[in-house]
Structure 1
Amino acid sequence: MKHIEFTPQQKDDLTHKVKSYFRDELDQEIGAFDAEFLIDFFAREIGPNFYNRGLEDALITLQEKMDEASYVIQELEKPEGY
Structure 2
Amino acid sequence: MAAKKSKPPILTLAPEQESEAYRKIQRFMEDRFELDLGSFEAAEILELFTREIAPHFYNRAIFDVQTHLKERFESIESDLWALEKN
TM-score, normalised via structure 2 length: 0.84
The higher relative CO (CA closer than 8 Å, separation ≥ 6) is in 2
Gap regions ≥5 residues in structure 2: 1-6
Is residue 63 of structure 1 aligned with residue 70 of structure 2? yes
Aligned length: 79
Give a deviation string over 1:12-35, Cα, whole Å, max 9, x none: 111111111101112211111110
**Which of 57, 61, 75 lines up with 1:54 in the alignment?**
61
Kindly report the root-mean-square deviation, in angstroms, between the aligned alpha carbons of the 2 structures.
Answer: 1.5
- SS of the equivalent of 1:28 reads coil
Match of 1:75 in 2: 82
Deviating beyond 3 angstroms after TM superposition, the runs of 4 or more aligned structure 1 residues are: none
Larger Rg: 1
TM-score, normalised via structure 1 length: 0.87
Gap regions ≥5 residues in structure 1: none
Percent identity of the aligned residues? 28
- SS of the equivalent of 1:30 reads coil
